[in-house]
Structures are given as structure tokens and as C-alpha cells.
Amino acid sequence: MLGQNKRIVICCAKVLGVGALACVSTASTWALTSSWGITAGAALALIVLYWCRKHPDAVLGTHLVLCALQLVVVDSPLPADLAVAASFYAVGRRGRRELTPVWAAAVVVGAALGAWDWNRDELGVVPLSLWAQDMAQAFVTQLCVAVATWGLGRLVTQRGQLRASRQAAHDAALRNEIAQEVHDVVGHALALIAVQAEAGHYLAAGSDDIDVPADERLEQAAQALGQIRTTVRSALADTRSLTRTLASPPQPGEPPGAADSAEPDDARAASQVTDKTLRPIPRISDLPGLIDDVRTTGLTVTLSVDDRLMSEGMQPNGINLLSAQAQLALYRTAQESLTNVLKHAEAASVEVRLEYRDSAPGKDVVLTVADHPGTAGSGTSPPAFGSHLSPEPTPAPVGGGQGLANLHQRLAVVGGSLKTGPGPDGGFIVCARIPTKSSQPTPVNPKVS
């Protein structure tokens, strides 16, 4: 509604401006010259302004031709010359840049001829210094009007281009953030579904190497299908919430982000691009739920977390150790690491540790995810779910590494870092480090699950 009213006001202002210019131009020209031909030329200068948006250079060229004819028949400036200023503005906004030197030369020559034509009758009548002063004044005035109107049009164009480039950069960053969220939410769910589906298929197929009664085997297959259903519903709800939040426009008269202004800073969106809340926003306290989801695949996962970090990242004195965005980055790091273990590693167990290290000069929160492969004869066997792979070949990933690249970006935004590499037992280790917002020492009381 406000935008529509603004457009109406601008349209009315343009109509009034054109009407005022027409009255001043034609009426004043007729009053000064009493010539139908000159008045017709003034009217023509106004009429051609209709095409100044689509053909600004042609309109300016027409005005310069009319000005040249004016120098022949009249020896003084006319109110109709105001139309030339409008055409200079139009050229500054939409004119072809390669024609700028041509118009600059035409303005200089035209200003010099105009100054001469308007002051030639004074030559020899007034002192030469006064005549030269009048000549310079007329010349400089014409140049200033032309440069000012052209520069104003150019300034408006550059500001519009700057806004467009900023909007394009914002849209690109928002698309990248959406891609990260979709990759993390959907990718993790699909990895869980793939492992659970393999287990259900293996159990339902009834292979000879399964020493389990048929009814118990079918019950386990039904459990796997139930886990798949739960995972799909959760991923679908998260995806719908994410897309609904991004697609919902702000309420009329409500500034962006006003809906979240009542929430504390650490409870608001973990997005660095948009004021809208990107849902879901998992936190450190949601890590046990993530671990439980992965455990449904049969993979052994241990979790060790500082108990104050589990309490929404708060110290007993109420100081926030981690922002919502930092907690999201740590959650996504754990999620992506576990997803990669399910997709790519033949791990028997995974260890997840979240530590608050306050001994160093800079206090950090460190997340470590390490997978440990099972070895023959060691008494450690692969997990039941996902250990029997489908005989169909698995297509090789194309353009891999997007998950780790996303993690590097997430952690860099909050001042953190990511290190990855092989473990001493042949597994793989992912280590994320994020500085805290608190500078007070805090004892560590780990909670193990």
C-alpha cells in the first residue's frame, strides 16, 4: 500500500512538473518573442521529451539542433531552453556512454557560441573587461547547468546500479545459505534412510547367513521401516519450515526482523544474510537427539559434552559462551561428520567430544568427531545396520567436498576453524574450534552419554 501511494505521488509530481515547464516555456516564449515559429519550436522541444526515456541521445541531439536555430533567429536565451536541461539529465541516466565525448564537445562549442551571440551587441559599447566578464559568466553558466543536470542523472544511475549489485550479492549469499541448510538437513536424513533401508532390505530378504528366526527378522525389518518413516517426516517438517520462513513476506508496515525483535539475540536467527529466521535452528542441547538418530542405524556413538554447554551454552552467572550462530555451526559440524561416517566410512564406533577449554589465553569450544574402524580378530565388529551392502554399484560422487566446504564457511563466519585428517587407528578425525564470548575461567564437568 505504501509503495503504491509513493508511485502515485511520484506520477502526480511528474505531471505537475511537465505542466509547469510547458506553461513557462511556451507562454514565456510567446510573451518575449510574439513569434509563432519560435513558440512552435519551444513546443517541439517539450514534445520530444516524451521519448527521453527510450531515446535520450536522440532527444538531446534534437534539442541541440533547436538551440542552433535559436542562435540564428534570437540573440538572447529563452525559457524554452529549460527543456535542454531535462534532456541532459536523461542522457546522464540512460544515455550511451560512448557518446559522452560528443555531447561534451557540443556543449562547449554551443556555450561559447551562445555567450558570443548574447553579448556581441555589447562589444565596443561597454568596456572590454566588462564585456569579457559577461561572456565568461554566460559561458560558465551554460556549462554548469549542463554538467549539473548530466551529473545528477549519472549519480542516480550509479546509485541504482550499486543497489542492484548489493541486492545481487545478498541474493547469492542467501542462495548459498539456503543450499547449506538444505544440504545439511536433507543430506543427513538421506544418509540415515539409506543405511536403514539397507538394513530393512537385508533383513526382509532372508539371507542364509542370518541366524535369526523369521518372525524376529520381520520385526526388525519393520523397526527399520519405522525409523525411515520417522526420519522422513522429520526431514520433511524441517524442509517445509525452512522454505515457509523464506517465502513468507513481512507483514504490512512491519520492518524486517520485527517479529524476532522480542527474542534475545541468542534466541534469534542464526543467519548472517537475512533478518528472517531460518528454521530449524538446532543448538548444542540438540546433540543428544542427533546422536540417538544415528544410533538407530546400529552405529555405536559416544557423546561427551561439557554440562554448561549442554545448558544452552550458558555459564552459571548467565553469560553466553556461544552465540546461536556458533551453536548452529557446531551442530552442523557434528551432523555432517556423522553423515560422512555413514556414507563413506566402515566404522565400528564414533566418538563425539565437545569441550570447553579455558586454560589457553583464548578460551575455545572444541568439537571433535573421530571414527574408529573395526579390525578383524579384535573383537570389534561392524554395526548390524549398513554392514551388508547392496550388490548394485554405487555411483561415484560428483563435485564432492561440498559438505566440508560448507563447514569451513560456517565456522569462518563465527571466527572458528576446521581441521580434518586421518586418525592413529586408521579412522578419520574432524576437529572444529570456536572462540567463546566469555573471558572468565569455567571448570569443566563433562557429561557422558
Q: What is the pLDDT of residues 177-221, one digit of tens each?
A: 777 777 777 777 887 788 778 777 767 766 656 666 777 777 777
Among 163, 184, 214, the domain-final residue is 163
d(CA 310, CA 35): 89
**pLDDT > 50? residue 265:** no
CB neighbourhood size of 352 (10 A): 23
Give yes or no: residues 277 and 128 share one domain. no
d(CA 123, CA 350): 98
Give yes or no: residues 270 and 413 share one domain. yes
- The more confidently predicted of residues 8 and 243 is 8
In a domain? residue 219 = no
For the entire predicted model, the pTM comes to 0.56
Q: How many domains does the chain divide into? A: 2
Determine the distance from the C-alpha atom of residue 428 to the mean position of all C-alpha atoms in its chain, rounded to a whole number.
34
Confidence bin at 394 (pLDDT 50/70/90): very low
In a domain? residue 350 = yes
Give yes or no: residues 156 and 272 share one domain. no
d(CA 217, CA 322): 45
Residue with cell 565456522: 411
In a domain? residue 412 = yes
Bridge partners of 429, per DSSP, are 370, 421
Q: Which of 149, 161, 163 is closest to 90 using CA atoms?
A: 149
Highest mean pLDDT among 203-212, 268-277, 309-318, 386-395 belongs to 203-212
- pLDDT per residue over 90-119, tens digit each? 999 998 989 999 999 999 998 899 888 888
d(CA 316, CA 11): 60
- In what helix (H) or strand (E) does residue 432 lie, and over which residues does it extend? strand 428-435
Longest C-alpha distance within the chain, in Å? 124
In a domain? residue 96 = yes
**pLDDT > 80? residue 316:** no
Among 163, 190, 224, the domain-final residue is 163
Lowest-pLDDT range of 48-52, 223-227, 300-304: 223-227
Q: Which of 296, 298, 373, 293 is closest to 335 using CA atoms?
A: 293
Highest mean pLDDT among 14-28, 345-359, 391-405 belongs to 345-359
Give yes or no: residues 279 and 422 share one domain. yes
Give yes or no: residues 409 and 276 share one domain. yes
- The more confidently predicted of residues 377 and 26 is 26
In a domain? residue 137 = yes
Among 134, 163, 192, the domain-final residue is 163
CB neighbourhood size of 45 (10 A): 27
In a domain? residue 391 = no
What integer pLDDT is reported at residue 109 of this predicted model?
A: 92
* Side-chain half-sphere CA neighbours of 94 within 13 A: 13
Put residue 298 in one of left, alpha, beta given phi > 0 → left and psi -120 to 50 → alpha: left
Give yes or no: residues 409 and 273 share one domain. yes
Cell of 227: 525409523
CATH number for the domain including 442?
Answer: 3.30.565.10
* Helix, coil or strand: residue 428: strand
In a domain? residue 345 = yes
Does residue 280 have a cis bond before it (omega within 30 degrees)?
yes
Average pLDDT score over the chain? 76
**For residue 276, what are the domain limits?**
266-373+405-449
Per DSSP bridges, beta strands 300-306 and 347-357 are parallel
Cell of 444: 569443566
Q: Are 210 and 203 in contact (CB under 8 A)?
A: yes
Give yes or no: residues 155 and 273 share one domain. no
Burial 13-37 (b: 16+ CB within 10 A, else e): eeeeeeeebbeebbebbbebbeeee
d(CA 196, CA 173): 34
**pLDDT > 50? residue 313:** no
Q: Are 411 and 333 in contact (CB under 8 A)?
A: yes
Confidence bin at 444 (pLDDT 50/70/90): very low
- pLDDT per residue over 111-168, tens digit each? 899 888 888 888 778 888 888 888 899 899 999 999 999 999 999 999 999 999 998 8
Give yes or no: residues 276 and 140 share one domain. no
What integer pLDDT is reported at residue 45 of this predicted model?
A: 84
Q: Are 414 and 326 in contact (CB under 8 A)?
A: yes
C-alpha torsion 202→204→209→213, nearest 10 = 140
In a domain? residue 169 = no
Cell of 308: 554448561
d(CA 305, CA 307): 6
